[in-house]
Amino acid sequence: MTATSDLDTPPSFTGTGTIKNPATGAVAGTVRWTDPADVAQVAAGLRAAQKEWEARGPKGRAKVLSRYAVWLGQHRAEIERLLIEETGKSAADAAQEVPLIIMIASYYIKNIEKALAPETRPAALPFLAIKKISVHYRPRPVVGIIAPWNYPVANALMDAIGALAAGCAVLLKPSERTPLTAELLLRGWLDSGAPEVLALVQGAREVSEAVIDSSDFVQFTGSCATGAKVMERAARTLTPVSLELGGKDPMLVLEDADIDLAAHAAVWGAMFNAGQTCVSVERVYVVESVYDQFVAAVVDDVNKLKLGAGEGYHLGAMIDDSQVAVTERHVADALAKGAKVLTGGKRASGSGSFYEPTVLVDVDHTMLCMTEETFGPTLPIMKVSSVDEAIRLANDSPYGLSAAVFSGDPERAKAVALQLDCGAVNINDVISNLMCTTAPMGGWKTSGMGARFGGAEGIRKFCRQEAVVAPRTKVGAGGNYYNNSLKALKRMNTLMTKMALIGPRRSAK
């Protein structure tokens, strides 16, 4: 769920700020910006509180997370009202975030203990059977989360829940465009009786840099360019990072696909949240025999969409005029190079940062709308002569977040999916991998490094591994120590070499 990041904004946020609804211009609320010099102190408080949080163990933390999940469910309406006021979302789009987080929390609550249970490891060779080997997962004290604006609930908490489950404290820095929702989420954490292991700092670039400097692990969601800056900053302290960055997700429509289903999916996948979703459908490749049918179905669907914030609308405003400008630039570039607009193609009339849902055809890879992340409500559709051409074009991108393949033969679709260079592929669906908390969500190429979710790894990613090697018996201890004779050491090393070579010699035959 990628958006431009505040590491690209001037460090001029001081005192208090006013947050306005991009759909109406009305004031959504005010925020007090954090002095960057105070971030280290906030992190120090979290580091102190984290020790007791870790000591509660998986069961103790699960109880707290359960109470928080209940609070989220009870306050869903309040959260969604604020989301709409702060982002200009439609009510339909705002309704997606809280249920997703409750689902993620529910999964982690049930699996914390199993995910963090110490693992026993067998001895690699018989003579090491005198040792007991166990691997333990120890939480990193402070996890810094730098979240974007497009999903103020989901992007803040989908990582925070996993880190808190692991036993970490979390230092959250939301986007300066959507700070209000994060404050409500923090209030809920404290109101549900949780300890002060979740803290919030508000601001732009300098605050983000201070979060990186003060954390033991950084989870960043944002643009590819800013992800590189985060990684560079974290390298100064050798702080590990996980990056979920930009996407230009392709959708492939094969000749045997259910065209109506594919069209419905493409429209929803492209226009959901006004296209401001990292895994949105940003380009479609359709085999020529079904191209006209697919395009007609897409246009019919898009023409039924209602644009506006709040209740009764399909897609809402874009976050601000700068994001509208990106969409305008991509559409203008496409038209100048020969593309055609079948719906939309311009900023909506009236006030607010709205852009009409836009379908583009006669597109190709010379156009920005097919090669750069638009992050707006556009759907460029390209005709291809074969499935092989669709695969080649889908992979012709620096991005590799996710993709979709539509075919009447799921096994054929799976074979195509395994030729696509990306972190996740949905077959006969779009975006659904976000709901699969047992599967990793991560990008290839410039779309990121590391992954969200992934079963136990969604918790373990916030931990350090500690190996403990204990004796089963006193026999054999000290066999390599200097107090043994050189002859005895030589015999032992010869025996170790012979035993270690048994396997390789057998395999080499």
Angle made by CA atoms 216, 221, 226, in degrees to the nearest 5: 90
Is residue 124 classed as helix, strand or coil in its secondary structure? coil
Instruction: Give the pLDDT confidence score for residue 127 in this predicted structure.
Output: 72
Return d(Cα 474, Cα 447) in angstroms, integer.
52
Structure tokens at 186: 């923090």
Amino acid at 371: T
Task: 134-137: list long-range contacts, CB under 8 Å, 24+ apart.
Answer: 134/467, 134/468, 134/470, 135/465, 135/466, 135/467, 135/468, 136/465, 136/466, 136/467, 136/468, 137/166, 137/459, 137/460, 137/463, 137/464, 137/465, 137/466
Alpha helices (H) in 56-96, listed in sequence order: 57-74, 76-87, 91-94
Is CATH 3.40.605.10 the classification given to domain 16-245+454-464? yes
Return d(Cα 51, Cα 294) in angstroms, integer.
57
Measured N-to-C along each axis, helices 97-116 and 154-166 cross at an angle, to the nearest 10 degrees, of 20
Instruction: Give the pLDDT confidence score for residue 189 in this predicted structure.
Output: 98
Instruction: Give the pLDDT confidence score for residue 374 in this predicted structure.
Output: 98
* Strand partners for 56: none
Return d(Cα 134, Cα 116) in angstroms, integer.
12
Amino acid at 128: L
H or E element, residue 100? helix 97-116
Structure tokens at 465: 């591994």
* Strand partners for 140: none
**Contact partners, residue 372, CB within 8 Å, separation at least 6:** 248, 330
Structure tokens at 327: 């969409």
The parts of the chain modelled with pLDDT lower than 70 are 1-12, 476
Architecture of domain 249-441: 3-Layer(aba) Sandwich (3.40)
Distances (CA, A) of 280 to 5, 198, 505: 18, 30, 52
Q: Would you kindly state where each structural domain of the chain is located, as residue ranges? A: 16-245+454-464, 249-441
Alpha helices (H) in 303-423, listed in sequence order: 321-336, 368-371, 387-395, 410-417
Structure tokens at 70: 């209940």
Structure tokens at 395: 């992979």
Q: What is the dihedral of CA 61, 63, 69, 73, to 10 degrees?
A: -170
**Contact partners, residue 104, CB within 8 Å, separation at least 6:** 157, 158, 161, 162, 437, 453
- Against a cut of 0.75, is the pTM above it? yes
Nearest in space to 244 (alpha carbons), one of 279, 295, 216, 206: 279
Return d(Cα 368, Cα 340) in angstroms, integer.
14
Decide if 372 contacts 380 (C-beta within 8 A): no
* pLDDT, tens only, 27-37: 999 999 999 99
Instruction: Give the pLDDT confidence score for residue 130 in this predicted structure.
Output: 86
Instruction: Give the pLDDT confidence score for residue 126 in this predicted structure.
Output: 76
Instruction: Give the pLDDT confidence score for residue 503 in this predicted structure.
Output: 81
Query: Which positions are catalytic?
Result: 244, 278
Is residue 398 classed as helix, strand or coil in its secondary structure? coil
* Beta strands in 344-455, from DSSP E residues, in sequence order: 358-361, 378-384, 402-406, 424-427, 440-441, 448-449, 452-453
For residues 472-494, one letter each, b for 16 or more C-beta atoms within 10 angstroms of the residue's C-beta and e for the rest, the string is: eeeeeeebeeeeeeeeeeeeeee
Amino acid at 173: K
Instruction: Give the pLDDT confidence score for residue 11 in this predicted structure.
Output: 45
Alpha helices (H) in 418-501, listed in sequence order: 457-460, 486-500
Instruction: Give the pLDDT confidence score for residue 485 in this predicted structure.
Output: 82
Instruction: Give the pLDDT confidence score for residue 159 in this predicted structure.
Output: 95
Return d(Cα 429, Cα 252) in angstroms, integer.
11
Return d(Cα 195, Cα 61) in angstroms, integer.
10
Return d(Cα 301, Cα 112) in angstroms, integer.
43
Is residue 55 classed as helix, strand or coil in its secondary structure? helix
